[in-house]
Amino acid sequence: MSALTFSLKRRVDQRVDMSPLVCQKLLGLDPSDIGALELHNGKAKVRVDSLFDISGSDTQKIIIKNSYEKLDFIGKELETGEISIIGDAGAYLGLGMKSGFIRISGNTGLFTACEMKKGLIEIDGNTGDFLGGALPGNKMGMKGGTVLVKGNAGDRVGDHMRRGNILIEGNAGDYCGSRMTAGTIAVMGQTGKHVGYAMRRGTLLLWNGPQVPANFNDCGAHTLAFLPLLFKSFKTLNSAFSEPAAMFNRVRRYAGDMSEMGRGEILVKI
Amino acid sequence: MIINGVTIDQTFAEAFPMKATRAIITAQNEKWAMISAQAMTGFATSVIACGCEAGIERVLDASETPDGRPGVSVMIFAMGGKGLAKQLETRAGQCVLTSPTSALFAGIDGGTRIALGKNLRYFGDGFQVSKLISGKRYWRIPVMDGEFLTEATTGQVDAVGGGNFLVLAESQPQALAACEAAIDEMRKIPNVIMPFPGGVVRSGSKVGSKYKSLGASTNDAFCPTLKGMTKTDLSPEIESVMEIVIDGLTKEDIDKAMRVGIQAVCDLGAENGIKRISAGNYGGKLGPFHFHLQEIMA
């Protein structure tokens, strides 16, 4: 059985809600049923087969070809299977994802992996603001799983994040780890201003020294035993994080945000 | 049955169901992992008075441990799950948490989960940090030498305790040498511990006593100095008897350990003063696991 493939026929002007096209919702449907499903396109509704050429039949392995930045909600609440995206994706990629695997060859928009619960998202390109964050007004961001970004991430990475790993091979924008409740954000590149803003708990693991905010206190240099375990858990990833050269256990520890609970930490490689 | 001049009695060892767990202690080097493991498994020879039976299973190479440091695997056995959990927590808190450079990990992934470092975290007085890595929860507890890293829980499984055999020899040094040889071989078998000092017990017991307050007392039938004044089980030439007690995760594990242990004793043979191998039982009425010596050595 070959992967169920959606090849975009034309780029529409209005945004498209792709949330019906997830593995668990397509289970048991044949390609003609899938083609007849309707997607929100701006204010209108359009049939899937009016936007995509459909081929293949394995609903647990979905490929979206010619994807572009207006395809929102890809992999929303994905429970099983895998989705590969060739091209870019819009906002809310993997929103509330419960399990499975999403891989994208291009860039993603705002709120990628927002409120994600489990699974793995691998992004070859860059991603927008609020990666792994909470929806506006909500108090809990990402609650589990792993997001790997090979490019750069926007502002507010892990806003209100509660659990899980966000791994960024490139740079992160401003307010990285803002209002974080727990979890781990690792950034190999540079970070912007106000790192760990209002952070309560959790770990920011940085390869390069940030502009440490005044409300983080320097706790000195340490060899931490949990870091080898953490790096070991990245071993299966297709990433620079899995390379032996990336591993270290010697860090400078900054505790904060002291204007909040102050149980968070910024660990900077030394 | 006679092996190399050593008579294998037609009897059996009687063992009981127990609950068991395993923990892995790592440290900066093997020396400190071993110190911590020895402390954790100290005063744990018999459930009769220690609350549990514990021992070092084996030394672990750095490549075998979760954090890539040298380590030691320890196992703890108790009569019930509650008692086991209590012993594990107390020993982890007093012997591993306190030991320089140590870290503590689960040694059994399956089974019922019991607290390993889950409650020790409160020692961190609010400064403890939790990390969920690959589905396992760890606690980082700030301590004066840095951070104590411990896995939150470990597995508790059904196990077997009280497998044993007796080595009957012409002299005390010969009995001890035979037991040492047996222990050297038995320590190579996974999933078992020999909880007594050095793996050997010289004060085997029988059930009951003339004193009402005691549930167990010396096994007079195997005491060589009582040969002339009790219903002895010893022939005139036997001058010393020593016992090896084995706890294991399964009956098969104990079978294996007994086989290699008895074989090591028999390899020394009659020419080194070893005359008989026997075993302790209670007539088969108390423990459901019976280890028939001749079947094991067949």
Q: What is the mean pLDDT of chain A?
A: 96
Write the pLDDT tens digit of every residue in B27-83: 999 999 999 999 999 999 998 889 999 999 999 999 999 999 999 999 999 999 999
Complex confidence, ipTM: 0.91
Residue B230, Ramachandran bin (φ over 0: left; ψ between -120 and 50: alpha; else beta): beta
pLDDT of residue B216: 86
Work out the angle between the directed axes of helices B172-186 and B251-268 (0-180°, nearest 10).
140
Give dist(CA B7, CA B4) in Å, integer: 8
**Count of A-B CB contacts under 8 Å:** 44
Q: Where are the beta strands (DSSP E) in A169-216?
A: 184-187, 203-206
Q: What is the DSSP string of A103-125?
A: EESS---TTTTTT--SSEEEESS
Q: Coil, strand, or helix at residue A180?
A: coil
**Sequence-ordered list of residues with C-beta below 8 angstroms from that of A205, at least 6 positions apart, any chain:** A184, A185, A186, A187, A227, A230, A251, A267, A269
Is the pLDDT reported for residue A260 higher than 90? yes
φ and ψ of B295, to 5 deg? -70, -40
Is the pLDDT reported for residue B284 higher than 80? no
Give dist(CA A119, CA A80) in Å, integer: 9
Please compute the mean of the pLDDT values over residues A244-264 and round it to a whole number.
94
Give dist(CA A196, CA B128) in Å, integer: 19
pLDDT of residue A29: 92
CB A40 within 8 A of CB A30: no
Looking at residue B280, its amino acid is G
Please compute the mean of the pLDDT values over residues A195-199 and round it to a whole number.
97
pLDDT of residue A20: 96
Q: Is A164 exposed, middle or buried (0-12, 13-18, 19+ CB in 10 A)?
A: buried
Looking at beta carbons, which residues of chain B come within 8 Å of A225?
67, 103, 140, 146-147, 149
Question: Which residue from B127, B138, B147 is facing A229, i.e. has the nearest CB?
Answer: B138
Is domain B2-14+159-297 given the CATH code 3.30.70.520 in the classification? Answer: yes
**Sequence-ordered list of residues with C-beta below 8 angstroms from that of B149, at least 6 positions apart, any chain:** A225, A226, A229, B67, B103, B104, B138, B139, B140, B141
Write the pLDDT tens digit of every residue in A200-244: 999 999 999 999 999 999 999 999 999 999 999 999 999 999 999
End-to-end CA distance of chain B: 9
Q: Does A245 lie at the interface with B, CB-CB under 8 angstroms?
A: no
Q: What is the DSSP string of A50-72?
A: HHEEEE--EEEEEEEEEE-TTEE
Q: Best residue in B26, B65, B129 to probe A by mutation, most A CBs within 10 Å?
A: B129
**H/E run at residue B58:** strand B53-60
pLDDT band at B116 (very low <50, low <70, confident <90, very high): very high
Give dist(CA B223, CA B76) in Å, integer: 30
pLDDT of residue B283: 78
Strands B274-278 and B205-207 turn out to be unpaired
State the Cα torsion A58-A61-A66-A69 to the nearest 10°.
130
Q: Domain residue spans in chain B?
A: 2-14+159-297, 19-157
Count Cβ atoms below 10 Å from residue B89 Cβ, excluding itself. Answer: 17
Q: Write out the two tokens for B23.
A: 């923990």
**Sequence-ordered list of residues with C-beta below 8 angstroms from that of A102, at least 6 positions apart, any chain:** A74, A75, A78, A82, A83, A84, A85, A93, A94, A119, A120, A121, A122
Cβ distance of A229 and B129 shorter than 8 Å: no
Cβ distance of B147 and A184 shorter than 8 Å: no
Question: Which residue from B68, B127, B149 is facing A226, i.e. has the nearest CB?
Answer: B149
CB B245 within 8 A of CB B196: yes
Is the pLDDT reported for residue B11 higher than 90? yes
Write the pLDDT tens digit of every residue in B200-244: 999 998 888 999 998 889 999 999 999 999 999 999 999 999 999
Helices (H), A151-238: 226-233
Nearest CA in chain B to A146: B134
Q: What is the mean pLDDT of chain B?
A: 95
Looking at residue B107, its amino acid is G
Write the pLDDT tens digit of every residue in B141-175: 999 999 999 999 999 999 999 999 999 999 999 99
- Cα maximum dimension of chain B: 66
Q: Does B145 lie at the interface with A, CB-CB under 8 angstroms?
A: no
Question: Which residue from B126, B133, B146 is facing A223, i.e. has the nearest CB?
Answer: B146
Looking at beta carbons, which residues of chain A come within 8 Å of B149?
225-226, 229
pLDDT of residue B281: 84
Is the pLDDT reported for residue B88 higher than 80? yes
Give dist(CA A213, CA A174) in Å, integer: 12
Question: Which residue from B130, B134, B147 is facing A224, i.e. has the nearest CB?
Answer: B147
pLDDT of residue B286: 73
Strands A250-256 and A82-87 turn out to be unpaired
CB B167 within 8 A of CB B241: yes
Q: Domain residue spans in chain A?
A: 110-269
Write the pLDDT tens digit of every residue in A7-24: 999 999 999 999 999 999
Strands A44-47 and A38-41 turn out to be antiparallel
End-to-end CA distance of chain A: 50
Shortest Cα–Cα distance, A233 to chain B (Å) = 6
Residue A3 to residues A26, A52, A79, A85, B269, Cα–Cα distance (Å): 12, 15, 17, 12, 69
Domain B19-157 carries which CATH code? 3.30.70.520
Q: Coil, strand, or helix at residue B59?
A: strand
Shortest Cα–Cα distance, A49 to chain B (Å) = 40
pLDDT band at B110 (very low <50, low <70, confident <90, very high): confident
φ and ψ of A25, to 5 deg? -80, -20
Q: Where are the beta strands (DSSP E) in chain A?
A: 3-8, 16-17, 38-41, 44-47, 52-55, 58-67, 71-72, 82-87, 101-104, 120-123, 143-149, 163-168, 184-187, 203-206, 217-223, 250-256, 264-269
Give dist(CA B50, CA B134) in Å, integer: 36
Please tell me if the domain spanning B2-14+159-297 has the same topology as the one spanning B19-157.
yes
Q: Is A60 exposed, middle or buried (0-12, 13-18, 19+ CB in 10 A)?
A: middle
